[in-house]
């Protein structure tokens, strides 16, 4: 059993792992965004990949999501913890808070959403994230006294631009709690391969719906992501040893 970590902004540092090595893979879906870093974290086998490439040069639309997820599965990952920056659509979700996502809304437009190009497969997606991983994260965040939210609805937009004010209000009306550009299609692809997947969302801003807040910028997001990364690293060190090969819906059959 191996644990995959998808991240960036300090969460893809090889120094996180003991006895690490870098592997370059070719998949049926092309090359992953970066070399995969394999090693041990808290005594467990871990594989890390930088979602947007080593230097964060790949735009959200062009992230090779299928290659990234396939490569993690190919290297034996049974569970994936995916760190992501997000904008908050709720007053109570403050910049710096962690959100353990339990639902998503897909508002992307140009992405390949499935591995199944040559046959019709209908993957159940009522509960898209791994409930067991989420429970572990919630309890560990409580133990560490990190400000966090036990659940939340993520709306994933295409990007690379940020939302208009009208869109931000619309997403709030839809019931979304946070917004990003990366959860979809990662979570879908992981489910198709029977891999447990849980998002660790780091709130960096209030998008643009909230009066009196400075407009969100890429520089703001990256700076706050780096500030939050230390807490996520601490969370991972505590959570990863507790992960088990439990029975859950993530490894259910596709129809």
pLDDT greater at residue 10 or residue 54: 54
Per-residue pLDDT band for 213 (boundaries 50, 70, 90) equals: confident
Does residue 254 have a pLDDT over 70? Answer: no
Let me know if residue 255 belongs to a domain.
Answer: no
Residue 232 has pLDDT above 80, yes or no: yes
Assess if residue 254 is contained within a domain. no
Question: What CATH number did the domain enclosing 100 receive?
Answer: 3.40.50.1580
- Report the share of the chain in percent with pLDDT over 90: 80
Please determine, for residue 74, whether its predicted confidence score (pLDDT) is greater than 90.
yes
* Total count of domains within the chain: 1
pLDDT at 255 over 60: no
pLDDT surpasses 80 at 253: no
Task: State the catalytic residue, choosing from 97, 177, 205, 211.
Answer: 205
> Which domain does 159 fall in, by range?
2-246
Find the mean pLDDT for residues 189-195: 98
What average pLDDT does range 54-80 have in this prediction? Answer: 97
SS3 assignment for the chain: CEEEEEECCCCCCHHHCEEEEEECCCECCECCCCCEEEEEECCEEEEEEECCCCCCCCCHHHCCHHHHHHHHHHCCEEEEEEEEEEEECCCCCCCCCEEECCEEEEECCCCCCCCCCCCCCCCCCCCCCCHHHHHHHHHHHHHHCCCEECCCEEEEECCCCCCCHHHHHHHHHHCCCEEECCHHHHHHHHHHCCCEEEEEEEEEECCCCCCCCCCCCHHHHHHHHHHHHHHHHHHHHHHHHHCCCCCCHHHCCCC
* Average pLDDT estimate for 36-58: 94
Catalytic residue among 97, 102, 177, 207: 207
Mean pLDDT, the chain, integer: 94
Asked if the model's pLDDT at residue 10 lies above 70, the reply is no
- What is the mean predicted confidence (pLDDT) over 184-200? 98
Q: Is 205 a catalytic residue?
A: yes
């Amino acid at each position: 059993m191996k644990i995959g970590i998808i991240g960036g902004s300090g969460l893809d540092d090889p120094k996180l792992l003991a006895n690490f090595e870098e592997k370059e893979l070719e998949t049926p879906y092309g090359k992953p965004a970066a070399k995969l870093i394999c090693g041990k974290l808290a005594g467990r086998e871990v594989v890390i990949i930088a979602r947007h490439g080593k230097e964060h040069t790949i735009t959200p639309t062009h992230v090779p999501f299928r290659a990234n997820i396939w490569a993690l599965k190919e290297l034996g990952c049974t569970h994936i913890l995916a760190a992501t920056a997000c904008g908050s659509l709720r007053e109570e979700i403050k910049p710096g808070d962690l959100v353990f996502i339990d639902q998503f809304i897909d508002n992307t437009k140009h992405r390949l959403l499935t591995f199944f190009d040559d046959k019709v497969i209908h993957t159940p997606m009522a509960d898209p994230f791994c409930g067991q991983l989420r429970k572990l994260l919630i309890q560990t965040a409580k133990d560490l006294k990190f400000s966090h939210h036990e659940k939340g609805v993520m709306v994933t937009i295409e990007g690379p631009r940020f939302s208009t004010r009208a869109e931000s209000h619309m997403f709030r009306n839809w019931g979304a709690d946070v917004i990003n550009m990366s959860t979809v299609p990662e979570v879908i692809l992981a489910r198709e391969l029977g891999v447990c997947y849980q998002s660790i969302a780091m709130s960096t801003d209030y998008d643009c719906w909230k009066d009196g807040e400075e407009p969100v910028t890429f520089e703001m997001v990256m700076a706050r992501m780096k500030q939050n990364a230390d807490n996520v690293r601490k969370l991972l060190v505590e959570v990863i040893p507790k992960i088990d090969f439990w029975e859950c819906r993530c490894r259910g059959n596709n129809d």
